[in-house]
Amino acid sequence: MKLVFLCFLFTYSFCFSQKVEFNYLPKNKDSVVKYITAVHEKKILKFGDNYKKVIAENIIERQKQFIERVNDSSFIFNRTITSYLNRVVNEIYDSNPSLDRKDIYFFVEKSAIPNASCYGNGIFTINLGLFDVVSSDDELAFIICHEMAHYYLEHNDKSLLKYFETINSKEVKKKADAVRNTQYGKRKAYSELMDELSFNFLKRSQSVEIEADSLGLLLFKKTKYNINASISSLKNLEKSDALLFNQESKLQEHLNFENYPFKQAWLAKEETLFDLSWISDDFILDSDYIGTHPAIPLRIKKLDVLIDQTGNTSPVNSVNLEEIKKITARISIHNFIDSNRIDLALYQCLLLYNQKLLDQKEYVSTMSQLLKKTYELKNNHSFGKYVGPIYPFSDEHHLNEIKLFLHNIELKNVKKIGLYFCLINEEVMKDDVSFNTTLQFFKSLNP
């Protein structure tokens, strides 16, 4: 029996440049809620009497939060992506027949951060950003094996139980009482206790990551995939953090017109654009995420010791991955547009067109849409609500250039840029109804 992913009909769907269709919500949402509820109830039954009530409350709260994320359009459903993932995951299960496939489902999360997660109840998530990082089916398969290992080793369950055992231990209760009875410096004492607890859980989390790598490798060895991809997948993940939003967009080349040249003043830095209270990088991994994943060189070193040549050492050629990358990239742009993150959408659009992952019509359609939306948000004085200021210590230099440009241009600039961009692309888009509507919009602003 083959593994089946959650794949439902659309309540509503989006067509990106008339090529990529996807939906945010499943048609039969009741079935989704029923599944999520069932796996959480099953998880509750796994725990004994110790802390049963408080653990049940915690799991029920997690269940509610996950259902809320479904309702809030945190996930996307695309048949091509689902079919591709099915093939990879079924290969893992077919090669490891002792594994129980029951209640295993993968959701595709719209996040641009390259990551995958195991929720410990049969639910797994794969971020759209992960597809951009892996270079082969082999690498994706190892990452999935790693997440499956977390599930079969019951790391989530053990961590949850250990957490409640720790905070209810006599030692921790004694320290907590001491903090409560502290007359001076209570805040500092509380912070120190939290740091101590965090450090202890951090060490435990690092050990389970290594353990998941080890079991994941055993599962991976039995598949048809190239055993050496276990190493290359980690190396690509290591590189991805430095590359995220740090590739040149060539913004000036795209928006420099004969009748309206690009102005260097649009890239001038102003103190008002910098805000120390703003989170450093838009997609920086928070300290918990970084801390619970041991340094990748260490993981690679440990995997190197475990790898022998009993597995396949020939790469598996994928005819689908490049197409999947194009689909996920387009969906990511749409997600940014849908949430009014014009800076991220513009950056992604320019980058993909430079890399020839968007054709001319897709590029023009998206750019004209973004310029129109930029004008509307600025005209409604809501632009700053979605596109935040630049953090002065941010390393996202090329994304920051996009932000500077968007913050610096005024309404009078946007309506000119929009008009001239549409005019130079009028011929190639003459049969596109949506584009022509946008063209007329900008013409009306430039009588």
Q: In which region does residue 113 sit, left (phi positive, over 0), alpha (psi from -120 to 50) or beta (all else)?
A: beta
Q: Dihedral, CA atoms, 101, 103, 109, 114, nearest 10 degrees?
A: -40
Position 418 scores a pLDDT of: 97
CA distance 213 to 418: 50
Position 289 scores a pLDDT of: 38
Please compute the mean of the pLDDT values over residues 335-356 and round it to a whole number. 92
Give CA 117 to chain center in angstroms: 10
CA distance 123 to 105: 5
Answer whether residue 97 shows pLDDT above 90: yes
- Check residue 278 and report its DSSP letter: S
Beta strand 75-76 pairing with 123-127: unpaired
Answer whether residue 287 shows pLDDT above 90: no
Answer whether residue 57 shows pLDDT above 60: yes
Answer whether residue 365 shows pLDDT above 60: yes
Instruction: Indicate the length of the chain as a whole number.
Output: 447
Please compute the mean of the pLDDT values over residues 57-75 and round it to a whole number. 90
- Comparing C-alpha atoms, which of 311, 294, 103, 293 is closest to residue 226? 311
Position 8 scores a pLDDT of: 35
CA distance 307 to 207: 19
Instruction: Summarize pLDDT for 384-427 with one digit per residue, the tens.
Output: 999 988 765 566 788 889 999 999 999 999 999 999 999 999 99
C-alpha angle with apex 324: 335 to 31, nearest 5 degrees? 65
Position 254 scores a pLDDT of: 97
Answer whether residue 231 shows pLDDT above 90: yes
CA distance 308 to 298: 18
Confidence of residue 186 (pLDDT cuts 50, 70, 90): low
Answer whether residue 10 shows pLDDT above 50: no
Contacts of 322 (CB under 8 A, 6+ apart): none
- Comparing C-alpha atoms, which of 349, 353, 296, 314 is closest to residue 136? 314
- Radius of gyration (Cα) for the chain, nearest Å? 25
Please compute the mean of the pLDDT values over residues 104-124 and round it to a whole number. 90
CA distance 342 to 345: 5
Position 303 scores a pLDDT of: 87
Position 208 scores a pLDDT of: 82
Contacts of 42 (CB under 8 A, 6+ apart): 103, 121, 122
Share of the chain above pLDDT 90, in %: 45
What pTM does this model have?
0.77
φ and ψ of 280, to 5 deg: -50, -75
Position 116 scores a pLDDT of: 92
Exposure string for 278-291, b = 16+ CB within 10 A, e = fewer: eeebbbbeeeeeeb
Position 290 scores a pLDDT of: 36
Position 3 scores a pLDDT of: 44
Per DSSP, the three-state class of 50 is coil
Which residue carries 């029923």 as its tokens?
A: 34
Position 282 scores a pLDDT of: 41
Position 11 scores a pLDDT of: 34
Structure tokens at 86: 């099915």
CA distance 252 to 156: 48
C-alpha distance from residue 385 to each of 32, 267, 377, 394, 407 (Å): 33, 20, 9, 19, 12
- Comparing C-alpha atoms, which of 130, 124, 78 is closest to residue 105? 124
Position 244 scores a pLDDT of: 65
Per DSSP, the three-state class of 109 is strand
- Comparing C-alpha atoms, which of 163, 4, 81 is closest to residue 327? 81
Answer whether residue 242 shows pLDDT above 70: no
DSSP E strand boundaries for 119-231 = 123-127
Answer whether residue 9 shows pLDDT above 70: no
Contacts of 311 (CB under 8 A, 6+ apart): 220, 221, 222, 223, 225, 226, 227
**Most distant CA atoms of the chain, gap in Å:** 77
Position 172 scores a pLDDT of: 67
Position 240 scores a pLDDT of: 74
Exposure string for 392-424, b = 16+ CB within 10 A, e = fewer: eebebebbbbbbbbbbbbeeebbbbbbbbbbbe
- 151-160, 162-171, 262-271, 324-333: which range is least confident on average? 162-171
Answer whether residue 15 shows pLDDT above 90: no
Please compute the mean of the pLDDT values over residues 315-321 and round it to a whole number. 71
Please compute the mean of the pLDDT values over residues 354-378 and round it to a whole number. 93
- 29-38, 48-57, 111-120, 129-138: which range is least confident on average? 48-57
Per DSSP, the three-state class of 290 is helix
Are 92 and 145 contacting, i.e. CB atoms less than 8 angstroms apart?
yes
**Residue with the larger pLDDT of the pair 48 and 361:** 361
Q: If you average pLDDT over every residue of the chain, what do you get?
A: 82
Range ranked top by mean pLDDT from 175-184, 274-283, 320-329: 320-329
Q: Helices 433-445 & 411-424, crossing angle to 10 degrees?
A: 140
Please compute the mean of the pLDDT values over residues 60-68 and round it to a whole number. 92
Position 299 scores a pLDDT of: 85
Answer whether residue 13 shows pLDDT above 50: no
Answer whether residue 237 shows pLDDT above 80: yes
Are 414 and 407 contacting, i.e. CB atoms less than 8 angstroms apart?
no
- Give kind and range of the element (H or E) at residue 90: helix 79-95
Position 291 scores a pLDDT of: 38
